[in-house]
Structure 1
Amino acid sequence: MKITRVEAIPFAIPYRKPLRFASGEVHTAEHVLVRVSTDDGVVGVAEAPPRPFTYGETQAGIVAVVDTIFAPQIVGLSLLERETAHARLARTVGNPAAKSAIDMAVWDALGRTLGVPVTQLLGGYTDRMRVSHMLGFDEPAAMVAEAERMRDTYGITTFKVKVGRRPVSLDTAVVRALRDGLGDAVDLYVDGNRGWTAAESARAMREMADLGLLFAEELCPADDVLARRWLVSRLDVPFIADESAVTPADVTREVLGGSATAISIKTARTGFTRSQRTQHLAEGLGLEVVMGNQIDGQLGSLCTVAFGASAQLTSRRPGELSNFLDMSDDLLAEPLCITDGELTIRPGAGLGAEIDPDKLERYRRDR
């Protein structure tokens, strides 16, 4: 079970339409496929989606750091020496998506070696999660139409609405249109990606007070420490820390400092090892948890549902598991399928993911 090779393969797949939000927009999934091979001939896989406007990583940067720094540090380790691998990767500052993809590929390889699903290795609570869908910036009618399509086609009834534009009335009008168009049978929550000030956020939440929102996420920057605490203390819905709470230490600081009352766990930036630590911390602190999405492809979404389904706390709320539907294609040999608003884990060992070699050859960027 010794690791003999770690590969980072860049690929690019266009989105059907741009995804727009307060911190940037995305036209193409410029991701990295990470493969971890062992001396037994097992290959574990995971996906690294860089988000340069949030974490500073780029596709080229992920490939470089995996090839030149991370791979030499973990080649030769056993798949069971995950804590050693984690400690070695942690010596390098930043690079969350690169580290996480290696971590998840190691877990996948371990599951394949043992003949056990990763979800079972992580806890085995259930085999599925309810799905929420992220709605990016657009005109109200277009966003309502997209939500209706997701509801009618896939059975999705929870929607995360991107906000953070100025004036705030642009976004409050969208959320109101969604509530009016979809009725009370759907759940809505908002994510500002730090686009508003605390005062703008407070005004927007007052304007939407009658809409029955589930959560508010990262409406204003966490660096505006006093203003953020002021805002969170005045809200009557849980305030989710997302990009401001990547590590367990971040979660502790934001929650105990009064800057958040819930958290988003994204396996794309914390892998399985650190995500599990964060989950246990959230359980101890009594926090709400939402499984988030880093605009993952199907492999990344499979990692999210594998982790989210493994524990009661992380499977309680719908997970953000559907944005692969916005991609024009994907790498998996057997596409994921959302049915009746749920996504199930793949049967079989590890993550149950098989990469289509022809599609990888078509979309990879290192040829």
Structure 2
Amino acid sequence: MKIVRIEAIPFAVPYRKPLRFASGEVHTADHVLVRVHGEDGLVGVAEAPPRPFTYGETQESIIAVIDRIFAPELVGLTVFEREVMAARMDRTVGNPTAKAAVDMAVWDLLGRSLDVPVSQLLGGYTDRMSVSHMVGFAPDAEMVAEAERMRDTYGITTFKVKVGRRPVSLDVGACRALREALGPDVDLYVDGNRGWKPSEAARALHAMADLDLTLSEELCPADDVLGRRWLVSQTPIPTVADESATRPGEVTRELLGGSANMISIKTARTGFTGSQRVLHLCEGLGTEVVMGNQIDGQVGTACSVVFGAAHRSTSGRAGELSNFLDMSDDLLTEPLQITGGEMHVRPGPGIGIEIDPDKLAHYRQDA
């Protein structure tokens, strides 16, 4: 089946409260819905979340690169020519979430055309994932209350704590408050979004040595090459490369250079095709992975759980799948559900989701 049209539709959904972390804050989900139309009338969908402070993309740039560069190169190809699509999109430097959304929408279209779930096409390992929830910057009491609400309401027992503030004692105090309130049976890990210097990160991890943290993610900027390598040598806590490892080449650099010993995979920036490349590289190097989140809406979250559940390595650890709960609304006809700390892959062909036309009409920005 050939691709006959590709759409990039801007939409905006407010967050219930601002999401704050070291590299910026987000008040509204100014995302892009990508729709890939097949010649038989079927449509594949995916979501591109712009993160200008991380990857340099904006809602406007994503629309422009898809409309002006990617669509003219991809229309006319069949849904099976994904290597050709990747090669043509890779001629354009950067633009990771735009490329990822096009890739995932093509996979969704492929699954719909074959009447097969994408999770089965990718690997079909399981039908669910445990969920990790991100706790952003706030006073200690508010961070504790949010985590307790997520545990009591949704059964979530893994929490990613945003750190990277100055002074370091703010984040050390927050993590200590969370551990004391939630007890020893909850998994806690930290994500600095490149907010600390290596010396600050080492001091913070030393101060939190008794909190049984499971991971530390992207505490320092990627350009702190020697500092990051030194930091890894200072702590027994696995160090996760995230923003610094968005492509297979970067993954290799971070792992072989000793700057990280674990990798975060985000379908929002590497799609399904690129995420499999990263995953297989990590498996070959004996490196653990975690499924991350780009503050995705429900469309993007559905893509994350589809990929994570499809593979043994990505389904073994809780994935970051709950940020959509902070949005005041979304685009799906049937909202995603988290129960007992888990999210299931949606049944049905493709990614298993449908866009509500009324909600899209309400939130789209180009109408």
Same fold (TM > 0.5): yes
Deviation at 1:11, TM superposition (A): 0.1
State the partner residue of 2:56. Answer: 56
State the partner residue of 2:76. Answer: 76
Deviation at 1:167, TM superposition (A): 0.5
SS in structure 1 opposite 2:138?
A: coil
**Mean Cα displacement is larger for which, 219-228 or 18-27?**
219-228
SS in structure 2 opposite 1:271?
A: helix
Deviation at 1:185, TM superposition (A): 1.2
SS in structure 2 opposite 1:185?
A: coil
Distance 1:77 1:331 in 2: 28
SS in structure 2 opposite 1:222?
A: coil
Distance 1:211 1:294 in 2: 26
Distance 1:311 1:228 in 2: 29
- Does residue 252 of the first structure (1) align with residue 261 of the second (2)? no
State the partner residue of 2:226. Answer: 226
State the partner residue of 1:283. Answer: 283
- Using the size of structure 1 for normalisation, the TM-score is 1.00
Deviation at 1:119, TM superposition (A): 0.3
- Mapping of residues 100-139 of structure 1, within 5 Å: 100-139=100-139
Distance 1:13 1:75 in 2: 29
Letter in 2 for 1:35: R
SS in structure 1 opposite 2:183?
A: helix
State the partner residue of 2:89. Answer: 89
Distance 1:310 1:326 in 2: 26
State the partner residue of 1:195. Answer: 195
State the partner residue of 1:174. Answer: 174
**Mean Cα displacement is larger for which, 354-363 or 228-237?**
228-237
Distance 2:212 2:359 in 1: 43
Deviation at 1:192, TM superposition (A): 0.2
> Deviation per CA, 1:60-117, whole angstroms, max 9, x where unpaired?
1100110000000000000000100011001100000000000000000000000000
- Mapping of residues 207-356 of structure 1, within 5 Å: 207-356=207-356
SS in structure 1 opposite 2:104?
A: helix
Letter in 2 for 1:269: R
State the partner residue of 2:160. Answer: 160
> Deviation per CA, 1:182-239, whole angstroms, max 9, x where unpaired?
0011000000000000000000000000000000000011201111100111110110
Letter in 2 for 1:14: P
Distance 2:64 2:331 in 1: 22
> Deviation per CA, 1:276-314, whole angstroms, max 9, x where unpaired?
000000111111111000000001000000000001001
Distance 1:33 1:228 in 2: 36
> Deviation per CA, 1:103-153, whole angstroms, max 9, x where unpaired?
000000000000000000000000000000000000000000000000000
Letter in 2 for 1:7: E
Deviation at 1:325, TM superposition (A): 0.2
> Deviation per CA, 1:219-276, whole angstroms, max 9, x where unpaired?
0112011111001111101100000000010000000000000000000000000000
Letter in 2 for 1:282: C
SS in structure 1 opposite 2:240?
A: strand
Distance 1:289 1:235 in 2: 18
* Divergent runs of 4+, >4 A: none
- Does residue 149 of the first structure (1) align with residue 164 of the second (2)? no
Distance 2:144 2:286 in 1: 34
Cα RMSD for the two superposed structures: 0.4
Distance 2:285 2:204 in 1: 28
SS in structure 2 opposite 1:299?
A: helix
SS in structure 2 opposite 1:281?
A: helix
Letter in 2 for 1:142: E
> Deviation per CA, 1:137-184, whole angstroms, max 9, x where unpaired?
000000000000000000000000000000000000000000000001
- Does residue 8 of the first structure (1) align with residue 8 of the second (2)? yes
Letter in 2 for 1:102: V
State the partner residue of 1:36. Answer: 36
Distance 2:144 2:13 in 1: 26
SS in structure 1 opposite 2:132?
A: strand
Distance 2:249 2:199 in 1: 27
Distance 1:82 1:25 in 2: 34
**Mean Cα displacement is larger for which, 3-12 or 282-291?**
282-291
Identity over aligned pairs, percent: 73
